[in-house]
A = this chain, B = another copy of it.
Amino acid sequence: MRTLSVDLGDRSYPIYIGASLVCNADIYRRHIPSRQVMVVSNETVAPLYGDAVDRALAGFQVRHVVLPDGEAYKTLEILNRIFDALLTERFDRRCTLLALGGGVIGDMTGFAAACYQRGVGFVQVPTTLLAQVDSSVGGKTGVNHPLGKNMIGAFHQPLCVIADTDTLATLPDRELSAGIAEVIKYGLIDDPGFFDWLESNMNRLLGRDPEALAYAIERSCDDKAAVVAADERETGRRALLNFGHTFGHAIETGVGYGQWLHGEAVGAGMCMAADLSRRLGWLTEAEHRRIVALLERARLPTAPPPGIGPDRFLELMAVDKKVQDGRLRLVLLNGIGESVVTDGFDPALLRATLQAAS
């Protein structure tokens, strides 16, 4: 088992990475301060790991909420089912929520924990590669709104994160690739050595080599934890983590939630950001080709779906949180492993990128 620490003062927490962790009773006992534990999962994951978690939580007062599976259900309305369960079971303000599932379950459970009785603890057990390397690290929680993704939420740090590599064995291929998109992102924004490693080891990741997966998860979490520790509330450096996401969110909203996986949209979004960086002369043609090639090898889309169009794209991007007082800010590349947050780009070149992708 590998252990990383996310250093946030009195809200610091560990990330455990390894095999057979879902059923590791010691970790639960070490980090859950209460008797009452509400396990929040979905219809896909609960049948796979619910029983193992129950056995490891012997001695706790455990209850379950099982939500429908999918980004389309990441809404205030479905969130309310968690509150219904907590109140029906008379869970008090010292209870703990346990998120067992992918990013949607993690985001919703974390947000429910942030809001229930104005804040209770939660443990994250991410069961997808995407959640393990992205949404389980950094304390971002929330739900979507019909007019924009993740528009309603809170910063709320977990008590600990348990990334069990065994759970990736049951992950569909498409979801594995979507997780790899975020892994590649860490290489692109500030870890060029990791990007090189990914070029050499992509086949091992796609073949679900446990060693390679564990290494990629650890390095991704380490990269992200370093950024988050430096900027918990996302005022500066943390914005780099949004590389590919402003384009990606526009794609997700444009095609309708649930059509594309988040990681797939981010994959196409990173290609668009790389394309704009190339047009600005900040990225060489060769670097741009390496990026597109690696994403293709990861079986990720490298362009948005047809039909959104530049005007609609700009409209959707304008709703994104990266807008400040009307000016669109994007994360762009000065090279592989070197990124920058900026609104200092020619809008005509952005339009050219959108046009080329339409």
Contact = CB atoms under 8 A, between A and B. Distances in A.
Interface stretch (A43-51, A111-119, A243-251): A111-119
B325 A35 contact: yes
Contact of A115 (B88, B90, B152, B321): B152
Contacts of A34: 325
A90 B145 CA distance: 13
Interface in A109-141: 114-119, 140
A199 B356 CA distance: 77
**Most B Cβ at <10 Å: residue of A34, A36, A151, A155:** A151
Contacts of A140: 118
Interface in A42-87: 76, 79-80, 83-84, 87
A151 B119 contact: no
- What is the predominant secondary structure among interface residues of chain A facing chain B? mixed
A319 interface: yes
A92 B151 contact: no
Contacts of A142: 115, 118
A58 B154 CA distance: 31
A324 interface: yes
Contacts of A114: 154
A119 B142 CA distance: 11
5 contacts: A35-B325, A90-B318, A90-B323, A93-B324, A117-B321
Given A76-B79, A117-B321, 14 more contacts: A76-B76, A83-B152, A84-B147, A87-B319, A90-B318, A92-B324, A92-B325, A115-B154, A116-B151, A116-B152, A118-B155, A118-B234, A119-B155, A119-B233
